[in-house]
Amino acid sequence: MDSKCPLFINGEFIDTPNRQNIINPSTGRVIAEASMASFKEVDLALSAARSAFDSGPWTAFSLAERKDFILKIAQGILDEAAVLAQLETQNTGKPIKETTFMDVPSSARAFDFAANNFMDYLRDEEISVSGEAKACLSREPLGVALLVIPWNYPLLIACWKLASALAAGNTVVLKPSSLTPLTAFELAKIIRKSGLPPGVVNVVNGSGSLIGEELCADRRLDMISFTGSNETGRQILQYSSKSVKKMTMELGGKSASIIFDDVDPEVAVNSSLTSIFLNQGEMCTAMSRILVQESIYDRFLADFTNKARRIKLGIAEDFQTQMGPLINDAQRKKVMAYIDKAKAEGSRLVCGGRIPEDPELKNGYFLEPAVLADVNTHSRIFREEVFGPVVLINKFSGPDEAVKLANDADFGLAACVWSKDLSLAREVSRQINAGTIWVNTYGMFYNQLPYGGFKQSGFGKEMGQSGFLEYTRLKNTVLDLSPEGKPLVNFWYGL
């Protein structure tokens, strides 16, 4: 890995005098130095993307040529899979097993799927509206898209957005989190090697507080696609209000998993552990509220807690590690403050929530997985996103109460329902106010299917046809078929 990480603008790598240390959360050590953009580099990136769309060769390429570029990027990700997995693990703290077997392959598949399906999504549709007219509905690229990426899945979410944006024919400014830019820089190398014309993709790393307003308010942008916190999302909405543009936002979550008493207990416990402790709980879709039917509650809580205690914390690069560190010390302190507040409000900490004593982990940002029971449903932790390895396990009596508890949050991103009674599961799913419902599973993302939330979890979709079409604009062309070429409007003032 090159310890110097430059920006990527108009097909060239650019060093800047302002740099930021990139920290390995497992060890607390500096692993790279990343260039940080100023207003100057922001302007260069926006100009490059605008010019590449308005007058570059990208928009003149055939759909088949566009497909070829996107497939080259997919193959490039696979060719560099080991490097990308290592970088993602060192930069985020997620275990190497996750980056190797989940994040990197899924990133390549996003491009592969877009390449092999976007032509169907872009087909024109003809509609006969009367005997005298017909319409042609066509999809066009929006123009220049700003893609703002979070720090928890920096490679995968970048690829979700990039694949659709490029397949739709847009040019892009990619803004990774300044905490986790390493795989974005590596992706820039892959994109350059693919032969994509200069300016089509630009990678601008920088502090949101410094360059965020400059980026989001600019009139050269046609779209902003953002994934991240609600706080940052609200700021972006304010910035972008200075010039009208398309927006999609995938924000926070406080997802609930409903477990009925007819489930296989072992499957429910094991799957629930994954649904909250995968990626250290730093997931928008984390099932941070597990609601268990009262007849099996005590057994579930005991089994879940026993297994949570056995989750192996460790250096993320170790293939034996099951849970790595949090992204930084500030995030760990935030999570621990939520736990302390919950205890003060009457919740019972059953296990975890402490910094581990293992001397090998002392320099990283580790936290034992925490299980809280008897949580007051009016408490902050029941309603607010923690974004860490903390789960609340509460009981319910029947379906009505379960649905009420699940919906008792400002967020509506995802939920799980566990029951052998599929009729019951479907009915409960219908009543839950969330964009994605998993029944008897968790976290199954498919490129064919849309993903996005309701309420304070945002608007717009990623993935699938719906997610792809977010990066297009719909044009309606009406063709008059009046006899002798004389439409009704011809006679209005022509008598």
Q: Are β-strands 12-14 and 7-9 bridged in parallel, bridged antiparallel, or unpaired? A: antiparallel
CATH entry 3.40.309.10 includes domain 256-439: yes
User: Which of 153, 119, 124 has its CA nearest to residue 137?
Assistant: 124
In tens, the pLDDT along 332-361 reads: 999 999 999 999 999 999 999 999 999 999
| Distance of alpha carbon 23 from alpha carbon 300, whole angstroms | 38
CA distance 95 to 90: 9
Strand pairing of 289-293 and 12-14?
unpaired
C-beta separation of 70 from 187 below 8 A = no
Q: Give the whole-angstrom CA distance, residue 331 versus residue 386.
A: 9
- Residue-level pLDDT at 387: 98
> So what's the pLDDT on residue 2?
59
Dig out the tokens for 177 from the structure. 């989190």
Q: Give me the catalytic one of 284, 317, 416, 462.
A: 284
Summarize the confidence of residues 437-455 as an average pLDDT: 97
Give the separation between CA 93 and CA 7, rounded to whole angstroms.
Answer: 23
Position 400 scores a pLDDT of 98
pLDDT tens digits along 157-214? 999 999 999 999 999 999 999 999 999 999 999 999 999 999 999 999 999 999 999 9
CB 48 within 8 A of CB 65: no
Distance CA 121, CA 117 (A): 7
Q: What is the pLDDT of residue 58?
A: 96
- Apex CA 213: angle with CA 211 and CA 218, to 5°? 105
Q: Which residues contact 54 (CB under 8 A, 6 or more apart)?
A: none
Could you give the CA distance from residue 361 to residue 28 in angstroms, rounded to a whole number? Answer: 10
447 vs 113: CA distance, rounded Å: 7
Is 284 an active-site residue? yes
Tell me, what's the pLDDT at 4? 81
Is there a catalytic annotation at residue 125? no
Tell me the one-letter amino acid at 344.
A
pLDDT in tens, 91-112: 999 999 999 999 999 999 999 9
Percent above pLDDT 90 for the chain: 96
**Burial zone of 226 (CB within 10 Å; 0-12 exposed, 13-18 middle, 19+ buried):** buried
Residue 71: pLDDT band with limits 50, 70, 90: very high
Report the CATH number of the 4-251+457-477 domain: 3.40.605.10
Handedness of CA 371, 282, 240, 138 (dihedral sign): negative
* Per-residue confidence band for 495, with pLDDT thresholds at 50, 70 and 90: low
The angle formed by the CA atoms of residues 421, 435 and 322, to the nearest 5 degrees, is 80
Look at strands 4-5 and 390-396 and give their pairing: unpaired
Averaged confidence pLDDT in the chain? 97
Examine the pLDDT at 1 and tell me if it is beyond 60: no
> 373: which strand partners?
348, 393
Q: Give pLDDT tens digits for 456-472.
A: 999 999 999 999 999 99
Is 271's pLDDT higher than 70? yes
Q: What is the pLDDT of residues 296-322, one digit of tens each?
A: 999 999 999 999 999 999 999 999 999
Which entry of 41, 88, 186, 250 is annotated as an active-site residue?
A: 250
SS3 sequence of the chain: CCCEECEEECCEEECCCCEEEEEECCCCEEEEEEECCCHHHHHHHHHHHHHHHHCCCHHHCCHHHHHHHHHHHHHHHHHCHHHHHHHHHHHHCCCHHHHHHHHHHHHHHHHHHHHHHHHHHCCCEEEEEECCEEEEEEEEECCEEEEECCCCCHHHHHHHHHHHHHHCCCEEEEECCCCCCHHHHHHHHHHHHHCCCCCCEEECCCCHHHHHHHHHCCCCCCEEEEECCHHHHHHHHHHHCCCCCEEEEECCCCCEEEECCCCCHHHHHHHHHHHHHHHHHCCCCCCCEEEEEHHHHHHHHHHHHHHHHCCCECCCCCCCCCECCCCCHHHHHHHHHHHHHHHHCCCEEEECCCCCCCHHHCCCCCCCCEEEECCCCCCHHHHCCCCCCEEEEEEECCHHHHHHHHHCCCEECEEEEECCCHHHHHHHHHHCCCCEEEECCCCCCCCCCCECCEECCEECCECHHHHHHCCEEEEEEEEECCHHHCCCHHHHCCC
Burial status of residue 337 (CB atoms within 10 A of its CB: 0-12, 13-18, 19 or more): exposed
Q: What are the tens digits of pLDDT across the range 119-138?
A: 999 999 999 988 889 999 99
Average of per-residue pLDDT across 43-64: 97
Do the Cβ atoms of 35 and 17 come closer than 8 Å?
no
Across 258-274, average pLDDT: 98
- The whole-number pLDDT of residue 491 equals 85
Residue with tokens 């508890």: 405
- Domain assignments of the chain as residue spans, ordered by start: 4-251+457-477, 256-439
Return d(Cα 232, Cα 215) in angstroms, integer: 13
